[in-house]
Amino acid sequence: MPATAPARNLLTQTLAFGRMLRAAGVATTTSEVMDAVRALESIDLLDRDEVYLGLRTVLVTRKEEIPIFDRLFESFWKYRADEGQGLDGLIQNIEPPKPGDDTIHGSVESHAKKETQVALEGWEEQGEDAGEPLEVPGVSAQEVLMDQDFSTFPTEHLDEVARVTVLIAKRLARRLSRRRRPVRRGGVVDLRRSIRANLLKGEMIELRRRERRRRKIRLVLIADVSGSMDLYSRFLLLFLYALQNVFGRVETFTFATRLTRITEHLKGTTYKEALRQLAAVRDWSGGTRIGESLHEFNRSWGHLVDRRTIVIILSDGWDTGEPEELEHEMLVIKRKAGRMIWLNPLLGNPSYEPLTRGMAAALPLVDHFAAAHNLSSLRDLAGHLKLG
Amino acid sequence: MREEIKKIRDLMESAEYVTDPAMATSVHLAMTLRKPLLIEGHAGVGKTEVAKVMSRMLGTRLIRLQCYEGLDAAQALYEWNYPKQILHIKLQEHSETSTPDKEHEIFSEPFLIRRPLLQAITPNGAPPVLLIDEIDRADEEFEAFLLEVLSDFQVTIPEIGTVKATEPPYVILTSNRNRELSDALRRRCLYLWVDYPGFDKEVRIVTRKVAGVNERLARQISRFMETLRTVRLAKLPGVAETLDWAQALSSLHADHLDEELVLETLGCVLKDPDDIKRVRKELAASGMKRFVAAEG
């Protein structure tokens, strides 16, 4: 066999494997695939474990991708019964599973969807933002909308309300951004510029300062999508989604009986698309397991929370699990987070009292407790999205 | 198994580092592909050790950059020696030297303080191992800056010019996952996830590293730790805690675990009052059996 033939085969097969990984949601780049080929050249191709470990260290970039990688590796480099047959032999006869094959999740389809980015820009133009925002960023003609509970709007008006929500958020975003102006005093002395400025004087007369760099605040939203909470979660999501550029990062999770991370679904989609995605993750099995969902969050996603993170939980606190568990998990978050906000839309009802056991367990640990049941409460919420 | 990988494993083992094939393969490829290796895992599983062992294996210098919030280029790359510059200006106050000359003088090599990244790019001799420790503690801005340095190992100092590494250093990054790292950085690196060791590996670590621990005790300790990590705790203990504990038990001349001993020394393993309370409660309820069942 000419020496180049297996090498080329290795290349094309590795490329095919890379494509499969991409289709399954592991965003492998071409240069990584080239590295994978180089890696294969410097390991023992007859040692299946070594091939596995070598490809894994090159192509996988985070722990969460390992299970997907394992599954695809298994199905791609199928182990032919004949022992002792090297990888060169193996790989020639293997067809990559077709996309749409049961073993592959994610799929090409969702990629195509991502291409169609229209994003939220459309809303801004329609907003006819005449100069400076008013004292109240709500438009007066729409003032009536502001205090009406989301659940009382007739279905055909919800689109309009959604539009106004985004509009308000956009204006607030502009204002929040402006608040982070550089400060003249304080900050740290910029010695480099000070030395230059005082080069001839031999004394440090004039100190130059520069702004102390601060990391943007991050948001983690954990929204209850069970039963009556679903609608409120949508509006909150819409609102925060439109505010996202103000923050360093917005991570979004939904839960009813189990936790789902939807951050990736929301990237680069229009808000309508995002809402549709939300509907898809909704689970109808009934009952809410907040404590368990928060436990799952802490276990798998706890690293997203730090001192510069605000954690927002939206739920009515109606937990079918043990309140001790909820309390424990809340405490774990509380210790790491900069701020913890609990939104309970039922609070908008004057006769409501937070009497559920879950709510009672969670309340003492919460920094801010509010309603988020109508537009004005969302607007007020923006004022609480800061630290210290 | 490839000869080189076996050699790495033997070298790591002889450096008192208990390793596994995954780690040896990653280290081997990091050295042959000359790509940075990103090691993630819980605190106390021995991520930093990999860099130390690697530098010992290669016989080169280890340069360490410890990351923290607010770390910036001045601390990581280079800084001018301001006190020295000021003194120099002061001494030259009455000299005839022109301002541009003065400026040229104080912004030259002798006034430059080389921080770890610059040291790694311009070594004296063989390329060193650069350990960028706990990158998840640094800000996103620093991460972006680091990405630039790691992509071409070249930096520009406005006053001096561009400095480029003749041969790039070996780079190890570690992260405790306190913050999600950018995809760009991840894609630049090889990746290794270090989990808590399995039972057998932990037994080997304990017997290798702590003198005066017999096989039975080592097995009990490892079994206890294995069970403990399945309990819902705020802070799971790592290998570092296992070793502390084994050390403590060894200095108490213990040859096996019993409930009293565990209760007395629990502080070596758990560092959170709520966790200690929880485990005490479990011990009181179901006894040692629950924790070291398989070891009797």
What are B85-134's pLDDT values in tens digits? 888 888 887 778 788 888 888 888 899 999 999 999 988 889 999 999 99
Q: What is the ipTM of this complex?
A: 0.82
pLDDT level of residue A61 (50, 70, 90 thresholds): very high
Euclidean distance between the first and the last CA atom of chain B, given in angstroms as a whole number: 37
Q: Is the dihedral of CA B87, B88, B91, B97 positive or negative?
A: negative
- Asked whether the beta carbons of residue B80 and residue A195 sit closer than 8 angstroms, the reply is yes
Q: In 3-state terms, what secondary structure has residue B230?
A: coil
pLDDT level of residue A181 (50, 70, 90 thresholds): very low
Nearest to A191 among B82, B176, B190 (CB): B82
Asked if residue A121 has pLDDT above 50, the reply is: no
Asked if residue A363 has pLDDT above 50, the reply is: yes
3-class secondary structure per residue, chain A: CCCHHHHHHHHHHHHHHHHHHHHCCCCCCHHHHHHHHHHHHCCCCCCHHHHHHHHHHHHCCCHHHHHHHHHHHHHHCCCCCCCCCCHHHHHHCCCCCCCCCCCCCCHHHHHHHHHCCCCCHHHHHHCCCCCCCCCCCCCHHHHHHHCCCHHHCCHHHHHHHHHHHHHHHHHHHHHHHHCCCCCCCCCEECHHHHHHHCCCCCCCCCCCEECCCCCCCEEEEEEECCCCHHHHHHHHHHHHHHCHHHCCEEEEEEECCCEEECHHHHCCCCHHHHHHHHHHHCCCCCCCCHHHHHHHHHHHHHHHCCCCEEEEEECCCCCCCCHHHHHHHHHHHHHHCCEEEEECHHHHCCCCCCCCHHHHHHHHHCCEEECCCCHHHHHHHHCCCCCC
- Per-residue pLDDT of B132-158, as tens digits, reads 999 998 888 889 889 988 888 988 888
Which residue from A68, A63, A55 is spatially nearest to A21, judged by alpha carbons?
A68
A49 to chain B: which residues are within 8 Å by CB?
21
pLDDT of residue A16: 87
| Residue A74 or residue A120, greater confidence | A74
pLDDT of residue B268: 92
Chain A residues bordering chain B (beta-carbon distance below 8 Å): 27, 29, 32, 35, 38-39, 42-44, 47, 49-50, 53-54, 56-58, 60-63, 66, 191-192, 195-196, 199-200, 202, 204, 213, 215, 248-249, 295, 303-304, 306, 328, 331-332, 335
In whole angstroms, give the CA distance from residue A120 to residue A111: 19
- Per-residue pLDDT of A36-53, as tens digits, reads 999 998 888 888 889 999
Best residue of A37, A57, A334 to probe chain B, by most B CBs closer than 10 Å: A57
Read off φ and ψ for residue B217, nearest 5 degrees.
-65, -45
Asked if residue B194 has pLDDT above 50, the reply is: yes
Query: Distance from A190 to chain B by nearest Cα, in Å?
Result: 11
User: ∠ CA A302-A303-A305 to the nearest 5 degrees?
Assistant: 75
The mean per-residue pLDDT over the stretch A213-241 comes to: 81
pLDDT of residue A97: 40
pLDDT of residue A196: 73
**Contact status, residue A223 vs residue A237, Cβ threshold 8 Å:** yes
pLDDT of residue A187: 60
Long-range CB contacts for residues B197-204, cutoff 8 Å, separation at least 24? B197/B18, B197/B45, B197/B239, B199/B223, B199/B226, B201/B18, B201/B20, B202/B226, B202/B239, B202/B242, B204/B18
B233 burial via Cβ count (<10 Å: 0-12, 13-18, 19+): middle
Both tokens of residue A303? 């690293």
Q: Which residue has the tokens 């130059």?
A: A208
pLDDT level of residue A252 (50, 70, 90 thresholds): confident
The residues with which B174 forms a beta bridge, in sequence order, are B39
Q: In 3-state terms, what secondary structure has residue B77?
A: coil
pLDDT level of residue A129 (50, 70, 90 thresholds): very low
- Per-residue pLDDT of A330-351, as tens digits, reads 999 998 898 999 998 888 887 7
pLDDT of residue A101: 40
Query: Distance from B123 to chain A by nearest Cα, in Å?
Result: 25
Question: What does the mean pLDDT of chain A come to?
Answer: 72
Worst-scoring range by mean pLDDT, A374-388, B136-150, B158-172? A374-388
Which residue from B224, B237, B196, B241 is spatially nearest to B290, judged by alpha carbons?
B224
